[in-house]
Structure 1
């Protein structure tokens, strides 16, 4: 039995009837119909920087089980917050929530920085509506009552550059393993910053002592905390312009080492966005970085795909894989869109003339080391000024939708209309904040899924795809199977095995004591009733003996553990 048995207060759903993997993938653009269409607006032009934004982020901000959407406005319009109604539509609650700030916003990151159970929002900015100015970043603390309060100044994360407003991508992650979320912020003009969470609602700037020398020369766009070698410590992928991207290894002592050269990365000439995934299912995460290339291929490196061949050692294979030519690349994300057991890539593009109508690309993984762009045939007809991009399951059907944020154009929401997606995938969302040493919402959790003849791996992070953050979950296609065995490794080393798990969407709650099903550190009737509810719902965490069967032995095992108490 696993060292850590987690709980569940219930399974969201195991949806629909079975369908085969590889069904026809189709997307439908729904932003206007869904009530969440926002046109990015700017008040004045700032050379170049004006065209870098916008982005946004997704999260269940009111904890109703449906993913909501935060959108950057752009200086000519306020930032917006849309609550998901659970019926395919959204409600604009910007004013009542208090987040309607008008500024030159760039990107957003989501994480429960104060560990109170409510997702907060960090917003990067390059200034006021009139000018580029420093100290305009925002930390919206979720008050848990439908409103937010800007606490950036008190928390110590309002300013990332002493004299310039130039913050771009941001990412939460627990780099020091103390159970609270730290914050990385990218800047193009010397404003790269790493803030350590003090655990009391404030942060300390540890850039000079935690990051290697020379980060002030890195023209940063998109940081991301990912444990690339499986040692339990999240490394820092720092995507940047003009051949300054960095691959930073977490030393496990609060510092990072620059391994860009030795790792074989940093070849992207103009790194903009990034994503990662085990694209070849070999048990090692690979790294994809968007960049630029002229349409006649006369200049620019194009996108880079760094395949990890051994821990922290990569080979660049973008041309052979068919993912190098991406126009002027920006936001990108990797997930299994068609549930065939292979991780795909979506990337959006665009810039000034002659790149004004660069198409978004949907690189579908062929399973042989190559990808094919199937955006148009899948219904993604976007060609324009794409910047930020994220993926999320907004309708809780078991498939990933796509949001594209455009410069001075409307944002787009592409609904994934894959047939019966809930029967062909497993999605895990995590509750981890109650366990000592674990950051909230599953940050740093690794999931390995096994089906006959196939092993897949996922990781929970809050990284910047480029000014945007996707859903915090592990989404895995079943590739024709109906059940899977799952091994969950939490950031503090606790493990849990769930066997014979059927397709569906589950919330997994980590706990160090098997009987504490709330979990609140106290054993009482509520733990018993919660276990019995999970058992009745056939939630995987109620299968206490890991045999894939829900029977008397599980109930007896729980009652025995309850009687023994927690140590």
Structure 2
């Protein structure tokens, strides 16, 4: 085994490799810019690409709900014959509610006068018809989630939010079961706390193969003999017995929030679902017991949104968060090392937006996730922007064998001068080693003649700032990429 020490002079090159690069793709005509929005992708017309529905408020026009169909390459056109109700402070959810193999949609929100929850069925070609006489309560500032709560193979729905009757406003959390044909019935006596300015997410938190649910929002508690009425920010977990009967989990560590997103994902690779609530991460022990992760520090924002997704295509979820800090727009991008350790990137890939929404889908068929963000930008303009993901190196489409899983790095995170890289060279020859930051900027490159077999390479990282980086090794036949953190 041969030991090679590579000392880098961290000169900067401008090649975009090793990380996701997002580029805004303007539409012609453009998406209507909105705020107080909801944005959701779905294949509404059965052509295997992702279309997008955007609802929200447009100054000078009012509340809108517009459907844009995709030509498969990421070029969208408004479907003018679709007459969805225009709403803002909205929620949208697609599901096949009648079992005919296409996606129907439920849209909730307000139009300055009334609150709505309207269901539309799809004929399979993207033509929607409103379903009359549904039992749904109209809500605003809420959330909608479809799932099969009772194991009968159809999509039930939970709706939360603020409803209005005359001058009175009330909070709601209402569960409706589906008969399989799209007819819904309210479940009376469900244990869910009534909330508005809410978010909900279903996930199997305890490994028993049924969907449990986490509900956040602002709850109203009426006056009692010993206390006055109260509004309380809440975050409550309910477990499912598999038949759609839910029970509140007492004594959780969750901090209550209002106007917060909720997202489940396995952030640390232990095969269970952890949860992020308004920038606070909680890890799961696999049995549904959550512990706040004090080591993860995510920027605190107001009137914003976040996303827990794999932005850099390395099979672990990263975090993007956007909103307001004080009187200014702010956003942060946090890269996951695969073990649930997050490092803030020096540059965020998107324009900071507040009072908006975000949605993900592969809109151009290149097998990575593109993004639409709608809301208010730093210039107080209402926008709806599409960003195309131009992933390069992680696709490994140049004929080289991907050996990323065979690279080992230690210590990782590193706090010393050297990072040790172990790599099996396939033959005698030149080994090219490159280091990138998480935004794809090439920081250094070294060509070294090596022998065949296991190589131990000491990389000088003393001049690197605290953060996440990528190292790429290429011997002409095989290539591997690994992530490391400098602390």
TM-score between the two structures when normalised by the length of structure 1:
0.59
Contact residue 263 and residue 312 of structure 1 kept, 8 A:
no
Q: Mapping of 1:27-38 within 5 angstroms?
A: 27-30=22-25, 32-33=26-27, 35-38=29-32
Q: CA deviation at 1:72?
A: 0.0
Q: Which ranges of structure 2 fall in alignment gaps of 5 or more residues?
A: 1-16, 163-169, 219-231, 398-404, 409-422, 424-487
Q: Structure 1 residues 104, 77: CA separation in 2 closer, same or farther (over 3 Å shift)?
A: closer
**How far 1:315 moved relative to its partner?**
0.7
Question: Partners in 2 of 1:219 and 1:77 — Cα distance?
Answer: 20
Q: CA deviation at 1:330?
A: 3.3
Query: Which residue of 292, 316, 321 corresponds with 2:296?
Result: 321
State the secondary structure of the residue aligned to 1:191: strand
CA contact (8 A) 1:329 1:347 kept: no
2:227 matched residue in structure 1: none
The 5 A counterparts of 1:503-518 are none
For the residue of structure 1 that corresponds to 2:382, the secondary structure is coil
Determine if the alignment matches structure 1 residue 397 to structure 2 residue 381: no
| Cα distance change on mapping 1:368 and 1:114 into 2, 3 Å | closer
Instruction: Confirm or deny that 1:360 pairs with 2:331.
Output: yes
Change (3 A) 1:68 1:263: same
The 1:91–1:394 alpha-carbon spacing in structure 2 relative to 1, beyond 3 Å, is: same
Q: Which residue of 2 aligns with 1:282?
A: 270
1:379 to 349, 353, 357: 349
- Structural mapping, 1:38-437, within 5 Å: 38-40=32-34, 53-74=36-57, 76-93=62-79, 95-99=80-84, 101-104=85-88, 106-126=90-110, 128-129=111-112, 131=113, 133-134=114-115, 136-151=116-131, 153-157=132-136, 159-160=137-138, 165-166=139-140, 168-188=142-162, 189-206=170-187, 208-209=188-189, 211-212=190-191, 215-216=193-194, 218-219=195-196, 221-241=198-218, 242-259=232-249, 261-265=250-254, 267-270=255-258, 272-290=260-278, 303-317=279-293, 319-323=294-298, 325-328=299-302, 330-350=304-324, 355-374=326-345, 377-380=347-350, 382-407=351-376, 409-419=382-392, 422-423=395-396
Q: Which has the larger radius of gyration?
A: 2
| 8 Å CA contact 1:271, 1:289 repeated in 2 | no
Structure 1 residues 169 and 34: CA distance shift in structure 2, 3 A: farther
User: Does the CA-based 8 Å contact 2:368-2:389 persist in structure 1?
Assistant: yes
Residues 368, 227 of structure 1: alpha-carbon distance in 2 compared, 3 angstrom cutoff:
closer
Asked if 1 retains the 8 angstrom alpha-carbon contact of 2:19 and 2:391, the reply is yes
CA 1:123–1:371 in structure 2 vs 1: closer, same or farther (change >3 Å)?
Answer: same
Contact residue 304 and residue 322 of structure 2 kept, 8 A: yes
Structure 1 unaligned spans of 5+: 1-21, 42-52, 291-302, 425-450, 455-479, 481-567
Does the Cα contact within 8 Å between 1:27 and 1:378 map onto a contact in 2?
no
Question: What is the total number of aligned residue pairs between the two structures?
Answer: 361
Aligned Cα root-mean-square deviation (Å): 2.8
Is contact 1:243–1:271 with CA below 8 Å preserved after alignment? no
Contact 1:336 1:342 in 2 (8 A): yes
Separation in 2 of the partners of 1:102 and 1:219?
A: 20
Structure with bigger RCO (C-alpha 8 Å, 6+ apart): 1
Rounded to whole Å, the distance in 1 between the matches of 2:396 and 2:90 is 37
8 Å CA contact 2:269–2:338 kept in 1: the answer is: no
SS of residue in 2 equivalent to 1:228: coil
User: Does structure 2 conserve the Cα–Cα contact (< 8 Å) formed by 1:248 and 1:256?
Assistant: yes
Q: Which one has the bigger strand percentage?
A: 2
